[in-house]
Structure 1
Amino acid sequence: MNKKRGQQSIVFETLPVVTSTANIVGPMEGEGILTEFYDRILQDNLNNNDSWEQCESYMMEWAIKTALAKEGSTPENVDYILAGDLLNQLMSTHFALRNIGRPFLGMYGACSTLAESMLIGSTLIDGGFADKVVAAVSSHHDTAERQYRFPTELGVQRPLVSQWTVTGSGAVVISGNGNGPRITSATVGKIVDMGIKDPNAMGPAMAPAAADTLWQHLTDTGRSPTYYDMIYTGDLGAVGKALVIELFKERGIDLSSNYEDCGCMIFKEEQDSHAGASGCASSGVVFSGYIHRLLTTQKLRRILLIGTGSLHSTTSYQQKESIPCIAHAVAVEM
C-alpha cells in the first residue's frame, strides 16, 4: 500500500500508539498556566548540577526514563530513541543518551524537533522496523541564551517581540500496540524563508512555514481545519499565532475557534515572557502533559500538532543571513 498522500504527507496503516509521556520543567514554567500538567517542577535552573547544560541533559534523561516507567517499560525495551535539543551538536541530548545506552538517532529541527521525532518514529513503527521508540526533546532558557544571544548575567533588554525559551523536557513513548492516542498521519515540512533577519523575531519568521505545512496537510489529506478538535503550533508566540490566523483568513478560512499555539499556553502574562514561550520544550511539555491528558480523557479526540522551527545559527546570524524556517505536523487521534 502506498502510504504517501499528496505532496508531503503520510497516512499510517498500522497506527502507532502514544502509550506514555512524561515531562519536567523549570521553576518559572512551574509557576505558569499549566502547573497541574507537569510531572516534575525543578526548584531552580541548575538542580544541583555544575552547569545549565548539565541540568538540561539531566532533564531529558529523567523524562525518558519516567515516561517508560509509567507504562512499566525500561530502556531495554526500546528499539530506538529519537531526540534533540537546541545546542550545537545536540550537546545536551548526547550527554543524556550516553547514560541510557540504547540505539539513538539525533534529531535537529530546532523547535520542530518533537514533531519531527514523532513523525520519523511513527514511520519506523508503521514500517515494521521497530516495536517501541521514544521521541524526546529538551531546551533550557539559560543554555539557549548563552549560545544564541547573550549570557543572562548581562541583563540585556529584550524586545517585546522576543520569546522566553522554555526550561524543560518532554518524552513521548510510541509503540506498535497498546492503549492510548494513535498517530494517524503526518506531514513533512519544507524550508520557508521570508527574509526576516532578526533572531528575536522568531514567531514572525516561523509563521509562514507553519501556515504552509498546515495548508499542505489539509490539501494532501482532503481535510478541513474543523476535522480537528484543536490545531496546535509549537512556539510561534502571540505575534506568530496572529500571523497564521491572518494568513488563513486571506484564504477565506477562519482558524480562530480551534487553533492555539503552545508558546501562548505556558507563561502567565504577569511573568513577562513578552511574546510567549519558545524552545524545543515548548511543544514538548505541552503535548506530553496538557494535550496528552485531554486526549486520554477524551476531552479532545483529534488534534494536529505542528512543530515549528527557526533554523538559524549564531554563524548564519553573524553573516547577516535570513532565517530559514520549517514546520512538521503529526495528527493524533483517539
Structure 2
Amino acid sequence: MVIIFHSKPSILAAAAIVGPLEKRSVFHSYFDKVLTDERANKNTNEQGHVLLISEACKVILEKSNLNNLDIDYFLGGDLINQMTPTNFAARELAISFIGLFSACATSVSSVIIAALLTELGASEFAIAGASSQHNAVERQFRYPVAYGAQKPATAQWTVTGAGFVLIGKHHEQFPAIEAATIGKVIDYGATDPLHMGGAMAPAAFETIQAHLKKRGQKIQDYDVIMTGDLGKIGLKIVKAMFAQSGTSKEDLARFRDAGAEFYGEDTAFQAGASGAGCSASVYYSYLLEQFKSGRYKKALLVATGALLSPLSFQQGETIPCTAHAIELGMG
C-alpha cells in the first residue's frame, strides 16, 4: 500500500544517541551523543535503553525550542518484551503515546503514522522513531551475552542506539515526507536467526518494487535507496534480486544499507549491524545531514523487520519479515 502525502509533512528536527561501541561506526561524527557506558550508568541494560530514548527526545525538544506539552504524540518501539523500554520512556516524557512493533522496521513505520496524523490535521508536532540496546537484544533473541558463543559470518551486531525525529507541517527548509509504502509480510521460509539479512532481503525487494511501480518512478529518480539493516550479505541478495529483474549496474550503485556500512570493514562485526536503532540512528543523523548540505534532493528509506520472537523460534516457526519505506524530498 502506497500513501501519498499531499501536505508533505516535514522532519523539523532529529536526534541520535548511541552507545560507546558505536563510536567505532563510520557515522559516529553525525550522532548527537555517544555514551561512555553501555548501560548509561544504570543498573540494567533495559534501564540504560530507556535513557537512550528519553535523551534522544530531550535533544529534539532542545533543538526545536519546544517542551513536552507542545508535542501531540510520541510514537516508537523497540525489540524487548512488549516494548517496555519505550513504554517506560513514554512514562517519563508524559506525551500521548502510541507504541508500535514492526521489529527493526519500526524506525520507519512510526514515522509513517506520525506523518499520517499530521496529514489529517490531528497533530501539529509528533516525535517518532525507534531504538535498540545490544546486550538486552542479544540476551533475548540469540545467546546470553556471557555465554561467549562464536557466531557465523552471516550474523550481525545489534546497535545500541536511538534515533527519533520531530514531524510537523510542511516547511520548505526541511526534508518532506512525500510518500510511503507499507509493506506486506513476506516469508521465504528462512529459519536461522543468525542470518537475518537473508531473511529480510525479499521483503525489502518487494517493498521497493511496489513503491517504484505505484509512484511511476525509476531507481535513478533517487539520489539513494537506503535499506536499514540487511547487512553486507542481505544487501548483496537485494542487489542480486534487482539484477535478475534487469536493473543496471549504474542503478544498483544507488543502493546502500545502513547496517552494511555502520561499522565499516571491521570484521569483528561479521556481516554488519542490525537492530531497530541501526536504521534509526543512521537515517535520523547522517542521512538527514545529506539533505541539509544539499547533497541529496530525494531519497527512499526502507527499514526491514524480522517478525519473530523467542517463542516462535523455539516452536520451529519460520521468520516472517516486512519492510516499510518513506520517500523524502527537498525543494
TM range (shorter): over 0.9
- The one-character-per-residue Cα deviations of 1:197-240 (angstroms, maximum 9, x if unpaired) are 01111100000000000000001100001111000001000010
Aligned pair count? 327
Q: What residue identity is the alignment partner of 1:142? A: N
Conserved 8 A contact 1:60-1:136: no
Secondary structure at the aligned position of 2:57 is classed as helix
Instruction: Name the structure 2 match of 1:4.
Output: none
Instruction: Name the structure 1 match of 2:133.
Output: 140
- The one-character-per-residue Cα deviations of 1:163-217 (angstroms, maximum 9, x if unpaired) are 0000010111100143310000000100000000011111000000000000000
Secondary structure at the aligned position of 1:272 is classed as helix
Alpha-carbon distance in structure 1 between the residues aligned to 2:192 and 2:267 = 23
Unaligned runs of 5+ in 1: 1-7
- The one-character-per-residue Cα deviations of 1:125-154 (angstroms, maximum 9, x if unpaired) are 111111111112110110001111111111
Superposition misfits of 4+ residues, deviation over 3 angstroms: none
Alpha-carbon distance in structure 2 between the residues aligned to 1:32 and 1:22 = 16
Conserved 8 A contact 1:238-1:275: yes
Select between 279-288 and 169-178 the one with higher mean Cα deviation: 169-178
Alpha-carbon offset, residue 275 of structure 1 = 0.3
- The one-character-per-residue Cα deviations of 1:43-68 (angstroms, maximum 9, x if unpaired) are 12012100011001100000011112
Q: What residue identity is the alignment partner of 1:251? A: S
Instruction: Name the structure 1 match of 2:309.
Output: 313
* Selected match of 1:224 from 218, 221, 241: 218
Conserved 8 A contact 2:26-2:261: yes
Alpha-carbon distance in structure 1 between the residues aligned to 2:76 and 2:298 = 25
Instruction: Name the structure 2 match of 1:81.
Output: 74
Alpha-carbon distance in structure 2 between the residues aligned to 1:176 and 1:17 = 6
Alpha-carbon distance in structure 1 between the residues aligned to 2:15 and 2:135 = 22
Alpha-carbon offset, residue 271 of structure 1 = 5.4
Conserved 8 A contact 2:302-2:326: yes
Q: Does 1:199 align with 2:182?
A: no
What pairs up with 1:1-334 in 2 under 5 angstroms? 8-178=1-171, 179-254=173-248, 255-270=251-266, 272-334=268-330
Secondary structure at the aligned position of 2:75 is classed as strand
Alpha-carbon distance in structure 2 between the residues aligned to 1:171 and 1:240 = 25
CA RMSD of aligned residues (A): 0.9
Conserved 8 A contact 1:17-1:181: yes
Alpha-carbon distance in structure 2 between the residues aligned to 1:46 and 1:127 = 39
Q: What residue identity is the alignment partner of 1:127? A: L
Conserved 8 A contact 2:79-2:137: yes
Unaligned runs of 5+ in 2: none
Alpha-carbon distance in structure 2 between the residues aligned to 1:150 and 1:188 = 32
Select between 168-177 and 248-257 the one with higher mean Cα deviation: 248-257
Conserved 8 A contact 2:157-2:272: yes
Conserved 8 A contact 2:129-2:165: yes
Tell me the TM-score normalized by structure 2. Answer: 0.97
Secondary structure at the aligned position of 1:93 is classed as helix
Alpha-carbon distance in structure 2 between the residues aligned to 1:130 and 1:27 = 35
Conserved 8 A contact 2:187-2:319: yes
Identity of aligned residues (%): 38
